[in-house]
């Protein structure tokens, strides 16, 4: 499965399921008069919004490289992830504010019934299943916006779990609904922070992993049996396009034609094996 197709599939599945869950949670929240359930419903709707962003980002990322963007449009995924985190932050602020207002007014606890319990339990199961599905797609495609959407699903499942626990103790504590709303808000803030942190790290540039370096070295040495040393690895990740540069030390007695033939074959092999465009700088072996 490629990155673009994975984004489309995960996004559309998420939109449909979240729309159904939003309707169920909102209905249960209105019937019970629970701010936590209503907040949880809007959290679920925000998942649909983020999934729409994932679908849009998948379309934008699929655009071919052009004169203005020679490395493609893959970083739309990072932009989408930041937008999803922004949505989470706004929703979290609103829930926290409403929870504080309700607590200060000493509003009586919500009237939870079997409807609230069943809807919340169904939501937990459905949202965790969506999270696992999104993480699976993200693992197969390395799509960061799908991964961000998966964390959004996970945060919704956890918030629903908090609500379910609160429902069981609602009769003992008048403030439980306000407390649950605040807890959900804090969970949303944390999810937004994690998404932004990971996305910014990727946009600023990451060091190449030791595991990938080992694979590249092994592949390069399988191309030619001559003595060679490789170092100074740098990778530039444009999501749909990756650029790799490194230095290689070869026997100084080799002709330019011989060394060029070796590095050209290595570059070709790495492109075929890892889908990475490579540029190699040649140095004398004992440099």
122-148 residue pLDDT tens: 888 988 898 888 888 887 777 766 777
Q: What distance in Å separates the CA atoms of residue 5 and residue 236, rounded to the nearest whole number?
A: 23
pLDDT band (50, 70, 90) for residue 177: low
Task: Give percent of the chain above pLDDT 70.
Answer: 74
> In angstroms, rounded to a whole number, what is the distance separating the alpha carbons of residues 58 and 271?
23
Report the predicted TM-score, pTM, of the whole model to 2 decimal places.
Answer: 0.54
Mean pLDDT, residues 192-199 taken together: 79
Distant-in-sequence, close-in-space partners of 282: CB < 8 Å, separation ≥ 6: 247, 248, 249, 250, 259, 260, 263
CB distance 159 to 40 below 8 Å: yes
- Say which residue, 47 or 30, is predicted with more confidence: 30
CA-CA distance, 179 to 94, in Å (whole number)? 14
Mean pLDDT for 217-227 is 79
The domains of the chain, with CATH numbers, are 3-204 (1.20.1510.10), 210-284 (3.30.70.1350)
pLDDT at 73 over 60: no
Compare 43 and 242 and report the one with higher pLDDT. Answer: 242
Walk across the sheet containing 277-284 and list its strands: 229-237, 242-250, 277-284
Mean pLDDT of 159-174: 73
CA–chain centroid gap for 271, Å, is 26
């Amino acid at each position: 499965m490629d990155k673009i197709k994975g984004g489309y599939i995960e996004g559309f599945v998420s939109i449909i399921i979240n729309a159904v869950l939003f309707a169920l949670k909102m209905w249960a929240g209105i019937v019970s008069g629970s701010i936590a359930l209503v907040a949880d419903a809007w959290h679920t709707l925000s998942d649909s919004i983020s999934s729409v962003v994932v679908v849009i980002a998948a379309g934008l990322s699929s655009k071919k490289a052009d004169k203005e963007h020679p490395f493609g449009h893959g970083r739309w995924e990072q932009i989408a992830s930041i937008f999803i985190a922004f949505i989470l932050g706004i929703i979290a602020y609103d829930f926290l504010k409403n929870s504080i207002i309700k607590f200060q007014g000493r509003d009586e606890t919500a009237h939870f019934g079997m409807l609230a319990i069943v809807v919340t339990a169904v939501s937990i199961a459905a949202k965790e299943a969506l999270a696992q599905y999104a993480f699976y797609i993200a693992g197969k495609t390395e799509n960061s916006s799908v991964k961000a959407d998966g964390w959004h699903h996970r945060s919704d499942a956890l918030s629903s779990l908090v609500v379910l626990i609160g429902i069981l103790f609602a009769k003992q504590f008048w403030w439980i609904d306000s407390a649950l709303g605040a807890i959900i808000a804090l969970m949303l803030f944390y999810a937004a922070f994690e998404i932004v942190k990971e996305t910014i790290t990727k946009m600023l540039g990451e060091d190449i992993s030791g595991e990938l370096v080992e694979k590249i070295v092994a592949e390069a040495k399988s191309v030619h049996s001559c003595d060679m040393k490789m170092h100074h690895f740098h990778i530039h990740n444009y999501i749909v396009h990756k650029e790799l540069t490194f230095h290689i030390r070869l026997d100084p007695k080799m002709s330019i034609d011989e060394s060029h033939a070796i590095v050209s074959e290595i570059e070709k092999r790495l492109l075929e094996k890892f889908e990475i465009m490579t540029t190699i700088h040649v140095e004398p072996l004992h440099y």
